[in-house]
Each structure stands twice: as C-alpha cells, then as structure tokens.
C-alpha cells in the first residue's frame, strides 16, 4: 500500500481526541452568559482550531477510505499483497474500528495464516490499535482476534435466550468475585423487617443480614483446529469458529452450573445443599412421573420474583404428555395458541425447557422446577460485553488453531433451603424429584 494504514488510523484517532478536547473547551466558554473580552478572543481562536482539526480529520478519513478500498480490492481479486485466492465475504456492515478492517472472522483468519505461513503481510493486521490485534507472549504465539469477533462468540455463549442467560451475572475484573448473600425472607425473624406502629410510639430498627462470600473463577476453553480445506471455505470456517465453538462452550458451562462439583469448575445447583428433593410416591412404578410428583415439586419452589421454569430431559415427554389435572393437560405443547410459548411448551403454567443436561427418565434431575436467578454466574469483565480474559489465534505445523479462554464461576445464592412463612416444608430455587 502507498501509505501505512495503521499510522493513518492512529493519526485520525489523535486528531479526533484533540478535537474533542478543544471543542469541550470552546463549548464551556460559549455557555457563559457574559464573556469577557479575553474570553471572546479565546473563543475566536478555539473556533479556528476546531475548524482546522475538522478539516484534517475529514482529510484523514478520505485517505483511510482510499487505503481500505485498495485492501478490499486486493482481497476480492487475490492480488499480490494478500496472497492466495479471493475468499468469500459473509458480513459487510461491521465497524472497521472494531474489526481491524476485516469483513468477517474467516477473512481475518485467512490473512493471518498467509502472514504466518507465507510471510505475506496483510496491511490490516498491523492497522488496528494494539489493544485490538497484537502478538502475544514472549514468542509471539499469535494475533489477538479483533473485538467485534470476540464479542460475537461471547454473545452467543451468554445470550439471554439460553439457560446461561437466565443465571444472575456477577462480573468481576479479577479471578475472584465477592458476592453478598442475603438468605433472609420477608416473613423470617432476621433481616429487614416491617412493623405496625401506633401513633406516637418509637420505631423498632432492623438491619439486613448479609453474608459475604468469595467465588472463584475457573478457566474454560475451546481449542479448535482448522485444516486447509476448512480455510478454503470461508462460510464453513465462520460457522466452525463461532457457532460450533460457542455451542460447545455454552454446553460445558451450563453442565457445570447444573452438575458441577465445585472443584476446578462452578458448584452446580444439583450438588449444592440448597437443592430440595421431593420424595416419590409410595409404590410408584419405576421411570414414571405422576401428577402428585409435579404438584409437590412446584409447591416447594421458592417464588420471590425471578423467572420460574421447568427443566427436563426429552425422555420425560411421553410421561408428561399424559398428565392431566381434571380434564386439563398439565403440559401444553407448541400447537397451543400461546403467545410467547417457549420451545418446550408450557407445563403447569410455566415455561418448559427440554435440554441435554437433565438426567434421563427415572433418575434424579430428569425433571426440575427451578428459578435460575437464584444462581450466581461470575464472569470476567473487561469493559462492556467483552468479558473474555484472552482469545488468541496461533498456528502449529501449518494448521490454523483457535483458542478461546473464559473465566467462569458459579454457585447458588442459598446455602440451604429456606423455611416457609407457614407450614413445615422448606423451599428453594431448585427442586428435583427423587430417583424412581
């Protein structure tokens, strides 16, 4: 390229920063009602500086656009600086400041491979600010994936529509997070209380009963190899390094949220003392679910806000589909005219989510009533949605390798089930049916 795209972008960023500082100073003076003669002179000077910087930024934008156009053409037509044939483009409307000028992750990966294997340097690899893409480690093991593509993967893992998204987030900047647990209830004898007061009588003070807890974050990673065949097919590469990796990370993460033993991974709610287990009925046949089972389970679910739901293995469906209360089916499948019904339909008026984490029919955990907002999910923060500690790309024996590393911790907020306001049966955010 004729000009260094990295230097142009850096110059543009510096000018924009200087322009903002000058503009803020100008606006502060313009906001005064009665400016002095000296201030009026300063206003005129600042106006001229802002105009000048504006022109310089506009000129730099034109130069950057011209260089990016040249890079794009080189990529499309497979000309000399990028090396190799043209690659398919999947996304064309991303912010180049967050993608390093690449249209998609596949295009970025091919450019890095060409640089590592053939020594053909794509100007965009050195164009972005160093906090976006840079060599990592003492040996220069790889190039940091641009922010936009890292966030795409993170968004797919912790999307609000999947099970992990229902857990309560607790972001932290370190490898541990301190959470304050309040296990009191409005009807309990401790914690914040409300009282009736007669006129003129003194108020009785109460205070929150808080338990500080430190939660450790654990390392979860995905390591994906891409052969030359996959590299030659950009859409398939994009699918493998985003969709498939995110699916694998998401599955492994929620598996720990549900069944983790807390050793090197989150403490799952099924292994915690907070879970309530409802006994099976006397003489109940093996591998069955009855109406009394699910009604007793639902009665033990702690409902204090949140989003109560049912989790079940699809093995349970033949049983659930036959349950009726009176003449009304307990489970309403998707063919019912219910607005916003989840993929698993509605069971006893609450969303039913069939999943591969729940145990098979007849085992403990085959069907559960849960409120996942009662589970603390700790993740590594770093500004905005980018919680990843590091996501690096490096190479080994001419095979492209992708490594995603996440820090994840988790545990239920409750240390044990809570006593009800009236009655003897304890309640929890997590209720399972005894093995049958």
How does pLDDT run across 174-214, given as a tens digit for each residue?
Answer: 777 777 777 777 777 777 778 788 888 888 877 776 677 77
Percentage of the chain exceeding pLDDT 70: 72
Q: Can you tell me the mean pLDDT for 216-235?
A: 73
3-state secondary structure of 302: coil
What is the per-residue pLDDT for 132? 36
pLDDT bucket at 129, cuts 50 / 70 / 90:
very low
Beta strands in 99-256 (DSSP E): 142-144, 168-172, 176-181, 211-216, 218-226
228 band by pLDDT with thresholds 50, 70 and 90: low
Q: Are 268 and 258 in contact (CB under 8 A)?
A: yes
- The dihedral sign for the CA sequence 279, 281, 283, 288: negative
Read off the pLDDT band of 160 (50, 70, 90). low
Q: Which residues pair with 222 in a beta bridge?
A: 404
Distances (CA, A) of 184 to 154, 272, 374: 34, 18, 13
> pTM of the full predicted structure?
0.64
* Contact assessment for residue 338 and residue 346, using Cβ atoms and an 8 Å cutoff: yes
Do the Cβ atoms of 404 and 245 come closer than 8 Å? yes
Residues 120 and 83: beta-carbon distance below 8 Å: yes
Please enumerate in sequence order all residues whose Cβ is within 8 A of that of 335, keeping only pairs 6 or more positions apart, or say none.
none
Q: Which is it for strands 430-433 and 276-278: parallel, antiparallel or unpaired?
A: parallel
Question: What's the distance, CA 118 to chain centroid?
Answer: 36
**Residue 412 above 90 pLDDT?**
yes
pLDDT digits (tens, 9 = 90+) for 268-314: 999 999 999 999 999 999 999 999 999 999 999 998 878 899 999 99
Q: Residue 106 to residues 111, 215, 221: CA-CA distances in angstroms?
A: 9, 36, 20
Planar angle of CA 65, 71, 74, nearest 5 degrees: 140
CA distance 233 to 223: 19
């Amino acid at each position: 390229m004729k000009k260094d795209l990295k230097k142009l972008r850096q110059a543009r960023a510096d000018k924009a920063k200087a322009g903002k500082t000058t503009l803020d100073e100008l606006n502060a003076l313009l906001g005064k009602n009665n400016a002095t003669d000296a201030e009026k002179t300063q206003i005129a000077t600042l106006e001229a500086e802002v105009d000048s910087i504006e022109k310089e930024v506009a000129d730099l934008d034109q130069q950057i656009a011209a260089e990016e156009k040249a890079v794009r053409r080189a990529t499309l037509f497979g000309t000399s600086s990028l090396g190799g044939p043209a690659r398919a483009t999947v996304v064309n409307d991303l912010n180049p400041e967050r993608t390093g000028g690449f249209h998609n992750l596949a295009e970025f990966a091919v450019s890095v491979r060409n640089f590592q294997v053939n020594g053909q340097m794509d100007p965009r690899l050195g164009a972005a600010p160093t906090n976006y893409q840079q060599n990592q480690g003492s040996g220069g093991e790889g190039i940091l994936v641009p922010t936009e593509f890292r966030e795409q993967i993170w968004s797919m893992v912790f999307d609000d529509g999947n099970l992990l998204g229902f857990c309560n987030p607790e972001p932290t900047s370190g490898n541990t997070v301190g959470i304050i647990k309040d296990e009191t209830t409005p009807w309990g004898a401790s914690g914040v209380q409300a009282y009736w007061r007669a006129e003129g009588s003194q108020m009785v003070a109460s205070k929150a009963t808080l338990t500080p807890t430190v939660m450790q974050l654990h390392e979860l990673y995905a390591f994906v190899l891409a052969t030359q065949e996959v590299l030659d097919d950009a859409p398939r590469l994009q699918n493998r390094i985003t969709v498939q990796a995110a699916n694998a990370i998401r599955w492994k993460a929620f598996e720990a949220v549900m069944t983790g033993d807390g050793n090197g991974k989150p403490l799952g709610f099924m292994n915690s003392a907070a879970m309530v287990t409802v006994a099976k009925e006397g003489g109940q046949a093996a591998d069955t679910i009855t109406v009394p089972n699910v009604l007793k389970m639902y009665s033990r679910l702690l409902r204090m806000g949140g989003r109560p739901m049912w989790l079940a293995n699809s093995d349970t469906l033949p049983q659930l589909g036959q349950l009726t209360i009176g003449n009304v089916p307990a489970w309403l499948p998707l063919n019912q005219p219910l607005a916003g019904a989840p993929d698993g339909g509605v069971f006893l008026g609450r969303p039913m989510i069939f999943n591969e984490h729940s145990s098979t029919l007849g085992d403990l955990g085959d069907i559960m009533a849960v409120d996942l907002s009662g589970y603390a999910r700790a993740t590594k923060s770093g500004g905005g949605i980018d919680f990843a500690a590091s996501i690096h790309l490096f190479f080994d024996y001419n095979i492209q390798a992708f490594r995603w590393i996440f820090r994840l911790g988790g545990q239920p907020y409750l240390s044990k089930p809570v006593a009800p306001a009236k009655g003897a049966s304890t309640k929890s955010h997590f209720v399972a049916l005894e093995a049958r």
